[in-house]
Structures are given as C-alpha cells and as structure tokens.
Amino acid sequence: MKITYHGHSCVQITHEGQSLIIDPFLTGNSLAAVKPEEISVQYILLTHAHGDHFGDTITIAKRCGATVVAIHELATYLSWQGLNTHGMNIGGSFSFGWFTAKMTQAFHSSGLVLDEEQRIVYAGMPAGFLVTVGDKTVYHVGDTGLFSDLKMIGERNKIDVAFVPMGDNYTMGPDDALQASEWIGAKLTIPVHYDTFPVIQQDVETFVNRLEEKKMRGRVVKPGEVFEI
C-alpha cells in the first residue's frame, strides 16, 4: 500500500492500481504539491463538509467518475449535484472491494458554507475513517477535539498509521494530540492539519520529538511525499 500526503488533511491511498483520496482540499491549499486535475481515484472519502476538507470533491468526482463516501446527509446532498455517492453513518463499516471503511465519531462541526448566499447547509455529523486494505489499517482521525473513546478505538483495532490533527484552534492542539496518539497506539503517527493557515501554525518537529520521548514512532511527512506500509 502506498500513501501520499497532500498537505493539510488530504491523504491518498493506492493499492494494486486502485486509489482513494480523503478530504481532497487542493485548490486554495498553499501547501499542496499537486493540482486537482492530476488526481485520479475511484473513491473520495469525506470526514466532513468544511471547505478545507470538502475542497475539490465535486471537480475530482465528476472527472474521474469517483464514488464519494460520506455521512448520509452529505452524501445525499452530493447525489443531488449529480455525483455517485455512498452514504454511511457513525459506527458503520462497508467493504468497497479492495478496501473496507469504518466510520468513527469525531467531535467537531460540519456544514457547507455558501458564502455568496450567506447560508450554511447542514451536512450531518463529522467523522473519522478506519480504512483497511488487506492486513493494514490506516486511521484518519478527521477534525476533532480530544475524546476518551479514542482509547477504545485504539484498543479494538490494530492501527498501522494514524493521521492525527494537531494544529489547535479548530482541532486538538499538540498536548491533546499527544494524548490522543497515546490512546490510539498506532505503529506510526503522522501529524496533520497544521501550518496551512496562520492560526494553526505549529512546531511539528517538536511534536514528533514528544511522540518519540513517549516511545511512539512519529514522522513529519511533507506534502507530496509518498511512503509505503
């Protein structure tokens, strides 16, 4: 399995010629090293509807014919826009053939902000995803604050890689993300959702060093970087 980090919270997983992308925020993401038209995937997984996660979903999905996997309300909205969708809800899992996705809870908010209309469209609950390919599991925690069920999720799943938000202000900050990482207990923890905007700038190297001090393996992955598990 190959994993590509595209900056912010955007993660792409590729396996045997198949590919999915989570939260494809590329346009407007100054850290992204790829453009939406360069992305080719069969599935798009959305943790929630905020613009820095929803991003280029419609553009990519229409060009690729990709299926968008999201919470029921958001999936329904996108189906009205002419996209192929698969709605899920918290706690549910589904096999998409080459991978299985399980939707976990996240403590955040979710809504489509229509600036021109000064209107917000309710988009269901925010979520995280446990994505399993073969015997490997990747946990995209989504945007969230710290909550104790992360410990249960870690205890019940053998997690190879966890993408944990740590930018503060909108999500957990470094201290809470460190606690979350301990509870999740992944073999490898990768910090995300930082530095994209001034308000979430963080010293990510220090965060990874703190993981290492607690005997956890952490890694700073640069946007555009690819690695295998």
According to the 3-state scheme, what is the secondary structure of 6-69? CCCCCEEEEECCEEEEECCCCCCCCCCCCCHHHCCCCEEECCCCCHHHHCCHHHHHHHHCCEEE
- Cα(144)–Cα(208) distance, integer angstroms: 19
pLDDT of residue 110: 98
Cα angle value 219/211/162 (rounded, 5°) = 55
Q: Are 124 and 103 in contact (CB under 8 A)?
A: no
> Which 3 state secondary structure label does DSSP give 153?
helix
Specify the CATH superfamily of domain 2-221. Answer: Ribonuclease Z/Hydroxyacylglutathione hydrolase-like (3.60.15.10)
- List Cβ neighbours of 82 (8 Å cut-off, separation of 6 or more): 62
Tokens standing for residue 128: 């995280």
pLDDT of residue 51: 96
pLDDT of residue 88: 98
Tokens standing for residue 100: 């299985």
Question: pLDDT truncated to tens, each residue of the chain (229 aa)?
Answer: 999 999 999 999 999 999 999 999 999 999 999 999 999 999 999 999 999 999 999 999 999 999 999 999 999 999 999 999 999 999 999 999 999 999 999 999 999 999 999 999 999 999 999 999 999 999 999 999 999 999 999 999 999 999 999 999 999 999 999 999 999 999 999 999 999 999 999 999 999 999 999 999 999 999 999 999 9
Pairing label, strands 2-5, 136-140: unpaired
pLDDT of residue 18: 98
pLDDT of residue 32: 95
Tokens standing for residue 151: 């410990």
pLDDT of residue 136: 98
- Cα(82)–Cα(66) distance, integer angstroms: 11
Q: Using CB atoms within 10 A of its CB, is residue 78 exposed (0-12), middle (13-18) or buried (19+)?
A: buried
Q: Are 111 and 123 in contact (CB under 8 A)?
A: yes
Of 59, 52, 64, the closest CA to residue 20 belongs to: 64
Strands (E), the chain: 2-5, 11-15, 18-22, 43-45, 67-71, 84-88, 93-95, 100-105, 111-114, 119-122, 127-133, 136-140, 161-165, 188-192, 226-228
**Which residue reads 């996705």 in tokens?**
101
CA Rg, the chain, in Å? 16
> Which 3 state secondary structure label does DSSP give 207?
helix
